[in-house]
Amino acid sequence: MQRIVLLAVAASMGSSLAAPVNYKTPDEVAAFKPGPNLEVVQGNCSACHSSDYVATQPPMKDKRAFWQAEVTKMIKVYGAPIDDADVGKIVDYLAATY
């Protein structure tokens, strides 16, 4: 009995507190820099994040090793569906461009 009363109270409160909110998100203004294999990067990386994520990475001494580790992390940790044939192209683009 007590559970039914609590559910009824929670349901009535939820409907009065949760009004729909409409808002427009800003247009995307960031873009990947031009370079060889740009299309591969756009096709694989843009599905999860904007180019801002790439552009805001800290400076590094060994760019190739850094980007190889990042691409590997995206695949193994976050499950990015990147074909093996595209990994080197993505790393080459990122190391040369960022």
Domains of the chain, CATH where assigned: 23-97 (1.10.760.10)
Q: Give the Cα separation of 82 and 24 in Å (integer).
A: 31
Contacts of 5 (CB under 8 A, 6+ apart): none
Query: The tokens of 32 are what?
Result: 């990947």
pTM, rounded to two decimals: 0.71
Phi, psi dihedral angles at 70 (to 5 degrees): -65, -45
| Average confidence (pLDDT) over 8-14 | 56
Angle of helix 84-97 relative to helix 63-76, nearest 10 degrees, comes to: 140
Please write the tens of the pLDDT for every residue from 37-87. 999 999 999 989 889 989 999 989 999 999 999 999 999 999 999 999 999
